[in-house]
Amino acid sequence: MLRVLKNEIIKMFSGKKFYVLSMTLIISIIVMAFLGKIHPNRGMNTSNFVFYTLLGTLLKPLIPMFMVLVITDTFTEDYIQGTMKFSLMAPIKKIDLIIGKFLFIAIYGLILLAIGFVGSYIIGVITFGVGNNGEFLNGFINNIKVYASIILPLFSFSAVISFIAVIINNSGAMIGLGIGIDVMMMMIDSQMKNIMYYTFSGGMYAYRIVQNLNARNILMLSLTACIYITVFLILSIVVVKRKDIVL
C-alpha cells in the first residue's frame, strides 16, 4: 500500500499534470481578484474573497473536475496502458493497490484544496489588504471551517468516481461521465433542500450553510461521507479482484 502511494506521488511530481492543474487554480484566483477589484461596490475584503473564490471557481467547478482527471489518470489510464499490470507483478495485493491509489487521490485533493486556500489568502491580501485585524482573524477561522467541511465530502465524491473508473476502460468516456456526474450532482445538491445530507457530493456544498451547522448536521455530513467512502472502496476492490489485470 505504501509502496503504491510512494510510486504515485513520485509520478505526480515528475509529470506535468500536477503543475498545470496548480497553475490553473492560481490563475483562476487571480482572475477572481481582478474581477473583485474592478467592482469595489461589492465591499470585497480578503476573507470574503477567499470564500467567494471557493464558491465561484475552486469548488464550482474546478477542483471536482480536476479530481475526475486525476482519478482517470490513476485508475483508467493505468489499466489501459498496462502500468497497473506491472504493479501487480510485484508482491502487492489488489486491496493494497486500490487503497494505496485512493490514499494518493485523497492527498492530491488535499493539496489542491491547500493551494486554493493559501493562494486565495496571498492574492487576497495583496489585492484587498488585511483590513481590520479582528475581522481578518474571524474570517480566517470561518474559512478554515468552510474548507475543513469540504474534505470528507470531496473524498466521498472521489471514492464514487474511482469506483466508476475501475469499471470503465476508456479515458475519454470516463472523463465525460465523471464531469457529467459532477455537474448533475451540483444541480441536485443546490436545488433540493436537505438532500446534501444524503448524497455522496452534497457535503461539498455545505459551505453555504456552514454558519448554521450544528453538531448533529456536521455528524450527519461526516457519517454520510464515510459510508460512501467505505462502500465504494469495497466495491472498487471487488471489481479489481475480478478483473484479469495481470494478463
pLDDT value of residue 247: 38
Picking from 47, 236, 16, the residue whose alpha carbon sits closest to that of residue 142 is 47
Interatomic CA distance for residues 73 and 64, integer angstroms: 14
- Residue 84 in this model has a pLDDT that exceeds 70: no
Reduced to 3 states (helix: H, G, I; strand: E, B; else coil), residue 78 is helix
86-111: burial string, b at 16+ Cβ within 10 Å, e else: ebbeeeeebbbbbbbbbbbbbebbee
Interatomic CA distance for residues 105 and 10, integer angstroms: 13
- Residue 78 in this model has a pLDDT that exceeds 80: no
pLDDT digits (tens, 9 = 90+) for 89-100: 556 788 888 999
* ∠ Cα 222 223 229 (to 5°): 90
Residue 102's H or E segment, with its range, is: helix 94-128
- Least confident residue range of 59-68, 148-157, 186-195: 186-195
Q: Which three cell numbers stand for residue 108?
A: 492530491
| Average confidence score pLDDT of the chain | 85
- The contacts of residue 4 (CB under 8 Å, 6+ apart) are 87, 92, 96, 97, 99, 100, 101, 104
pLDDT value of residue 217: 77
Higher pLDDT, 186 or 91: 186
pLDDT band at 232 (very low <50, low <70, confident <90, very high): very high
Single pTM value for the model: 0.89
Q: Which three cell numbers stand for residue 172?
A: 475519454
Q: Are 243 and 169 in contact (CB under 8 A)?
A: no
Higher pLDDT, 181 or 206: 181
- Least confident residue range of 85-94, 138-147, 180-189: 85-94
Picking from 64, 68, 60, 62, the residue whose alpha carbon sits closest to that of residue 190 is 60
